[in-house]
Every structure is written in structure tokens, then in C-alpha cells.
Amino acid sequence: MGFMSLMITLFLVLLVSVPAILLAKEINFHKKLVANIIVTGNETIGETDDNYICATIDWFPSDTCRYNYCMLQNSSAITLDLSNPLLAKTIQAFKNLRLRIGGSPQDQVIYNVGSPRYPCRPFQQAKNGLFGLKGGCLYMRRWDELNHFFNKTGAIVTFGLNALYGRKKQDNSTLWVGDWDPSNTRALMNYTILKGYHIDSWEFGNELSGNGIGARVEAAQYAKDVINLKKIMKELYKTTNYNSRLVAPGGFYSQDWYTKLLQDSGPGIVDVVTHHIYNLGGGNDPNLIRKILDPAYLTNSILGTFKDIEGVIQEYAPWAYVWVGESGGAFQGGGRYVSDRFVNSFWYLDQLGMAAKYSTKVYCRQTLVGANYALLNRTTMEPNPDYYSALLWHRLMGKGVFDVHRRHASPYLRPYAHCSKGRAGITLLLINLSNRTEFIVHVHNQTGFKLKEREKRRESHFMRGRRTEVASDGRSFREEYHLSAQHGNLRSQTSLLNGHPLHVTNGELPKLDPLLRHENSPIRVAPLSIAFIVLPNFKASACANPAPSC
């Protein structure tokens, strides 16, 4: 062999060996930890609504921009393309997706029906206007189109009303004073009922509680107005064969303000108490991903609110339900390259799990379409990663919520457990925030039940993520749904389900098929991944009579 041939051979050997060495280092860098979790299957600590997952449709016009970036084109209740077939399919995939129509500009919208006391004109940008806008008009032709779309897709609708109508703004203040004028709302409700449109609930105002966002109303005045609204609703709906609920206040939680509202309005007025969450801060925060992957931040930034509002409702409004009426993680449209990427599912699913443990019946995601935190791409309507996370929750996680205890487990493994939806057993949500640790999870119930610690074969992460074990006897197997980022890139807009990319093909949503694993094999959750685990044979007496799956 000549010198040149020898050098080429050595070069090729190094070329092959270096990646193998690097890969070996990467494999060794990952740790494996055993995590034992205990599910109190004999008793639930809470119950969600059948349609816990909710998404919002806002009012902002297309020329609204945030952080020098315009992100709201044709995504509002007024401009959204309702003829898009993929938009309809994404809603129909939930069977009955709850939609909340509302957002910051809703308290400016005039309904073009009856004889409005103010001109009904389209939104226009205005420096001195509320949220930089003036005008805002809902024409009845558009209201008809929206309701036909809701009926076609099976959506359950909550509509946000203009709660500033008739009030006056105090000079040099965000406070609005005077009685609310219900005439325009009455005209809209009457039109809606005469047309046979079914609105599940009407929400009074947006973010007017406490210090307000842009505008505020004192709690005593607000209570007086919701009493009036309830009276109107009872009068108008008495001739129908269904009732519509009153939802309020649709704002950020303030203990004194919420308490005053519920005390002054009295029993049976407010059916659903809503509050908003943006616990990640501003959408331009460069630390969004760090916050999302920090278990202490996820807990400490919102847990107090969940506990406090649960206590206030139990003491002052035990007849009412609690909803998260709007939550986008980061405010002002969400974080660019974060809120519509895979990494956001760690925050979103953790929020769904935590909120459910504290009496939250419904959780509304800001938004269905529009801005960076949308579930759907605003131009193509193709789902972003959080859409698939929401759809899996909706299909797998039932109403009954269990307490879950970790035994000597890392805080980077965040477990949640519910009754399985429409079948026996339980479903676990396991969120692994660690970038280097694979968790091997063993599940116990309160009587010490434990999944046997044995593994049929050792497989690499690569093979396990792509192999489906077909069961001849479904009772002996569990279902697993593992979500991860394509190419390991947390900023990817593509989720992998059990190693396969989730893409729309020929206008059809992908099937969300599980892996089937022997129920006695260990549950493995890879670093920076999320897993839904369906355990049909877990003895959970609180789930003895599961409701049919929707």
C-alpha cells in the first residue's frame, strides 16, 4: 500500500469512528432514573367538564401588530375564513370543541341589530382608542355565518359581550363608570333566539376586573350589571327549551374584587366564574423557554391562583363552576418561535393537568387561530404542535382527576392522572422536562399495586420509538402516545408521535395511533418528551362506570 493510499484509509477510519465516539458520549450523557408514582385510584380530587379543552377566537383586526410583527391577519371573528375545509376538520376532530368568542376588543363591538345608540363601524387603528382601536361592528350577516359554522362543526359556543356599552370613561383614568346599557345585548340575544342559534353561554366583559387591562369597572357596579343581565337572559330564554349560562368576569384574578362581585351579585347569578392566565410574561421575553422547562417556575407562577380562586368559589359561590377563560402562556400574542413550537406543549399540557386538580371545569386556549400562540397556522390552518397535544388530552383524559404522589422522583418528571375517557382504567400524562434523564416509571395505586418491573427486551430509543407491538389480547396491553420534537429541536413546528411526524396529508388530519406495550413492561419517558399512557387494568374504583367516549 502506497503512502497516499494509507493516508486515505486512515482518514476513512477516522471519518467513521468520530461520529460513533460522539454518539457514544451522547448516549452515556443521558441518565436513567426509576420514578415511582402513586395514584389514589379509589377517590377523585376533582372533575372536569366533558369538553374541558376550549379555544378562543379573538376580535383584533388584521392590521394589529405586536413587537414590530403583524401576526393577526384574517384570524378574528369578523375576518376568519369559515369556508376553509381544514379549519372545519380541526374543530370536528374534537366532536364538540368549546369555542370562546372574545378578547380585548370585545368591549368596543357594537351589534348591528335593532337600533344601536352608537354607530356600527369597522375597527380602525386609533392611538387614543382602547387597545389602539376605535369602532368595531358585528353585522348580522356575519353573525349568521358564524352560527352556521358553529352548527356545522358541532362547536359549543361562549360569546363575550360588550360590558362597557353605555358607560363613560373617567378623565385620566382607566375606570369606566355608570350603569351598563343592556339594549344592544338584548337585541343580539333576541335575534339569536329567534334564529334558533344555540349559544351555550354569554360572558360579560373582558379583563375589566381588579386593575383591569386597558379599562376597569368597580366590582359593586359590575355585580349590579350582571344581576340585570341575568334578569334579561331569564326573560328571553323562558320561551326556549334550553338555558344559556352567564359567565363572568373574564379577567385576571383579584381576590378582593372577585369576592365583592360574588357577594354583591348573590346566589345563582353568575353560573361560571372565569379568570385569565398569562404566567410566562411578555411574548418578547428571551427567557420563555427557560421558564417553560423550569418545574419550579411552572408551579410557583400559578399554583397560588388556582388554590385561591378555588377557595373563594367554595366559600362565596358554591353553585358556580371555575373556568380558565383565556390563557396563552405569554401575553401580547405569545412568543415568536416559541408559542407555536413543540416546546410550548410542556407548558400547555402542564397547565391542563394542574388546573384540573383545582376544580377547573374548562380551560380555554388563546387562540384557535391568530398570533404566535395559535393552535392552528393562520394561513394554512395546519395544526401547530399544541393542537395535537390538546386533541390527545381530549380523547384520552376523562373527567375524574386523581391525586398523584411521586416517591423520591425528580421534579423534572411531572405526572398527572385521570380516569380514562370512555373506558375502564386510568390515563397518565407524564411530562419529562429533563434534557438528559430518561425516566423509568412504575405506577402504584393506594393499595400498593405495582406494574411488574420486567422488560421483554432491551431496545434503543430509536427502535422503541418506531416499533408497534401488536396485541392478540388487548386486555394485556397498554396504549402509549409519546410526543417529541422533530430532530430533537424544541423550536420545531412538527411533533413526532411515537417517532412519526404529524402532518396533514391530502387535506386530512393524521391518525393518532398508539404503541401497544405489554402492561408488565416498564414505562419509559425519554428526555424532553411527553407521554400519555392508558392503563386499562389499573384498579381505580372511582372510574367504575366510565362515560361513553365522545
Catalytic residues: 207, 326
Residues 6+ apart with CB under 8 A from 213: 104, 207, 251, 252
| Three-class SS of 471-495 | CCCHHHEEEEEEEEEHHHCCCCCCE
Residue the block writes with cell 402504584: 444
For residue 517, the cross-strand partners are 478
Q: How far apart are CA 268 and CA 271, in angstroms?
A: 6
The region, left, alpha or beta by phi > 0 then psi within -120 to 50, assigned to residue 124 is beta
Pair 466, 515: CB distance under 8 Å: no
Q: Give 154-182 as a DSSP string.
A: T-EEEEEE-S-TT-EEPTTSSBEES----
Nearest CA to 434 out of 24, 26, 25, 31 is that of 31
Would you say the C-alpha torsion 58, 259, 156, 482 has a positive or negative sign? positive
Pair 170, 176: CB distance under 8 Å: yes
DSSP-H helix ranges across 266-384:
288-292, 295-300, 303-316, 344-356
The grid cell for 482 is 409519546
